[in-house]
């Protein structure tokens, strides 16, 4: 009998996972967005599960530490940053205010599922809903999108991270989540989305386009000097030319089909590349150098790098649109089945937005005080 009142008790070990995905071309091997779960050697596997869950390989979840902690209370955020290994991120499928309102038992359901895995040490684990910032925005898919897993044996935690994505049902409630480390070294490879009239899934045209982008950037003095400075500080490469080649070698384009409320078919190319910075502030400056740029292909065609947001409100990936989420298409998917309608994704995470607002208010107060005393602005006199 299922002690959780839902799902199906498995008397036998879970069935073996589906066949592994085909190997990637060498140029794509390092791009984390093109990788899958089960990447490392398999840890201790559960011999059974009280609640059945979907078996298979899942697209790797790639989220920066800052993005995962977005809109979470500052005290909790600092506690996690101080001891990231004490917690595991549970990125909820369809995470936001709506799913918690529809299922008040969400934390209990996930905790019951994990404790139902036949791996010693699950009885002490706890699933926690981290407190939001007091001024956090609300919405169906508003951040934070995560729950926190605390405690649990090393063996259980190793399996959860290795398997990554779990989809199951309890009393008719369909639930899915992905377990992810809080890793300060993780940076998404997403750079920008490319629009234009020539966008389609033609591999030859995409090859021409990515080479055009590389050629344009290689001739850009600011880009070249920026890359040289960063990699020199990291002691990578022996010359300006070599460092430029190293950075551009990781650039690739992916075709993303997409629909919007206004237009049925508005696909984009997504440019990806290995990040050159380890901190989010400098990483954003790096992205600005490439975004909002036109790239001309021949005399009559051009494509444009935009800041337009594309992402999935369900699995939270930046590599496909919400109406094209691949997870529900997996065989024996037991998690939520979203509609394939267009849903606007949440804005990009801006960790310094509040700091910037505070600085602007402070500057305005100083300017007001200066004017009230009849002093001139020294900055304007220069």
**pLDDT tens-digit series, residues 331-343:** 899 999 987 677 7
If one compares 139 and 89, the residue with the highest pLDDT of the two is 89
User: pLDDT band at 289, cuts 50/70/90?
Assistant: confident
Q: Which of 54-68, 239-253, 255-269, 347-361 has the lowest mean pLDDT?
A: 347-361
Helices (H), 5-105: 65-68, 74-82, 97-102
Neighbour tally for 342: CB within 10 Å: 18
Check whether 1 has a pLDDT greater than 90.
no
Interior angle at CA 187, CA 181 and CA 193, nearest 5: 130
Check whether 378 has a pLDDT greater than 50.
no
Check whether 250 has a pLDDT greater than 80.
yes
Mean pLDDT of 188-211: 91
Cα–Cα distance for residue pair 251/232, rounded to 1 Å: 20
In DSSP terms, 271 is beta-bridged to 192, 253
Cα–Cα distance for residue pair 90/76, rounded to 1 Å: 15
If one compares 48 and 74, the residue with the highest pLDDT of the two is 74
pLDDT score of 381: 47
Residue holding tokens 């898919």? 141
Tell me the two tokens of residue 168.
């199951």
What radius of gyration do the chain's Cα atoms show?
24
Closest CA to 305 of 321, 318, 322, 288: 288
Q: Which of 130-134, 184-188, 263-267, 351-355 has the lowest mean pLDDT?
A: 351-355
Which range in 62-71, 173-182, 286-295 is most confidently predicted, on average pLDDT?
A: 173-182
Check whether 152 has a pLDDT greater than 50.
yes
pLDDT score of 31: 87
Q: Are 66 and 89 in contact, with CB atoms under 8 Å apart?
A: no
User: pLDDT band at 305, cuts 50/70/90?
Assistant: confident
Cα–Cα distance for residue pair 55/213, rounded to 1 Å: 40
Q: Which of 127-136, 267-276, 335-344 has the lowest mean pLDDT?
A: 335-344
Cα–Cα distance for residue pair 218/311, rounded to 1 Å: 29
Residue holding tokens 């899915």? 176
Q: Are 268 and 194 in contact, with CB atoms under 8 Å apart?
A: yes
pLDDT score of 5: 44
Q: Which of 134-143, 192-201, 213-222 has the lowest mean pLDDT?
A: 134-143
């Amino acid at each position: 009998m299922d002690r959780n009142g839902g799902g199906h008790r498995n008397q036998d070990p879970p069935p073996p996972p589906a066949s592994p995905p085909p190997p990637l071309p060498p140029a794509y091997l390092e791009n984390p967005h093109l990788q899958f779960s089960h990447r490392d050697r398999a840890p201790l596997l559960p011999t059974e599960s009280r609640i059945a869950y979907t078996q298979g390989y899942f697209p790797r979840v790639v989220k920066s530490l800052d993005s995962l902690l977005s809109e979470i209370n500052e005290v909790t955020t600092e506690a996690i940053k101080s001891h990231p290994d004490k917690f595991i991120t549970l990125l909820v499928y369809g995470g936001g205010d709506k799913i918690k309102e529809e299922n008040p038992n969400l934390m209990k359901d996930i905790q019951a599922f994990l404790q139902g895995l036949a791996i010693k040490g699950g009885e002490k684990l706890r699933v926690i809903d981290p407190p939001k910032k007091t001024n956090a925005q609300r919405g169906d898919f508003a951040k934070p999108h995560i729950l926190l897993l605390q405690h649990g044996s090393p063996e259980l935690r190793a399996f959860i991270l290795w398997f990554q994505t779990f989809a199951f049902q309890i009393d008719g409630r369909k639930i899915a989540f992905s377990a992810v480390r809080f890793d300060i070294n993780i940076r998404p490879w997403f750079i920008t989305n490319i629009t234009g009239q020539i966008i389609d899934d033609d591999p030859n045209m995409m090859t021409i386009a990515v080479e055009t982008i590389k050629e344009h950037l290689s001739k850009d003095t600011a880009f070249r000097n920026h890359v040289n400075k960063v990699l020199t500080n990291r002691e990578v490469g022996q010359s300006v030319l070599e460092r430029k080649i190293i950075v551009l070698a990781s650039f690739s384009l992916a075709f993303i089909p997409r629909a919007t409320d206004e237009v049925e078919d508005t696909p984009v190319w997504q440019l990806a590349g290995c990040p050159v910075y380890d901190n989010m502030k400098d990483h954003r400056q790096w992205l600005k150098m490439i975004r909002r740029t036109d790239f001309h292909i021949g005399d009559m065609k051009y494509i444009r790098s935009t800041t337009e947001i594309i992402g999935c409100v369900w699995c939270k990936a930046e590599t496909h649109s919400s109406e094209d989420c691949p997870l529900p298409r997996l065989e024996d998917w037991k998690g939520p089945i979203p509609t394939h309608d267009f849903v606007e994704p949440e804005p990009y995470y801006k960790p310094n937005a509040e700091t910037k607002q505070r600085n602007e208010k402070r500057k305005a107060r100083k300017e007001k005080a200066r004017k009230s005393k009849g002093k001139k602005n020294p900055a304007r006199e220069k």
